[in-house]
Amino acid sequence: MRFETDGKLSLWLFRDPPEDSFDDDILKTQFGITTYDEDMLEVGGSDEWETTPLKKVFKPMSYSESWAEAAIARAKELGIEECRRGFFILNFAYDPQKVQNKIPAEPVFLGVFDY
């Protein structure tokens, strides 16, 4: 399934450290994403997996001035105010309804945002 879409980013949050080391396979095995441009994947947050306010996680990430406010509002709707790490794929509009995988609770798929 291909989700490439210019001007969109798909964002996930880790509230808890992963049981295994974080790697790109999580996208395929847990979210059914079989193809994406690896150069468009960006990770933010604590290298030590410490709990960090979302604003602090998002601020150094690319184009955050255009999407962080909407992402924080969406997270607040879900009762999330902090995370350990976040990652996104630029030019990508993931749609969990188009994959057959059961979407895991962790990491949380926060949504698709304009940037």
pLDDT band at 97 (very low <50, low <70, confident <90, very high): very high
Neighbours of 78 (CB within 10 A): 11
User: What is the domain range of residue 37?
Assistant: 4-114
How many angstroms separate the Cα of 15 from the Cα of each of 53, 69, 87, 100? Answer: 11, 19, 12, 24
Number of structural domains found in the chain: 1
Instruction: Read off the pLDDT of residues 11-36 as tens digits, 9 standing for 90 and up.
Output: 999 999 887 666 668 888 889 998 99
Amino acid code (one letter) for 80: I
Q: Tell me what pLDDT residue 22 has.
A: 62
pTM of the entire predicted model: 0.93
Poorest-pLDDT segment among 44-48, 74-78, 90-94, 102-106: 102-106
Strands 85-92 and 4-14, sheet pairing: antiparallel
Residue listed under structure tokens 């847990």: 30
- Nearest-5° angle of CA 97, CA 100, CA 106? 75
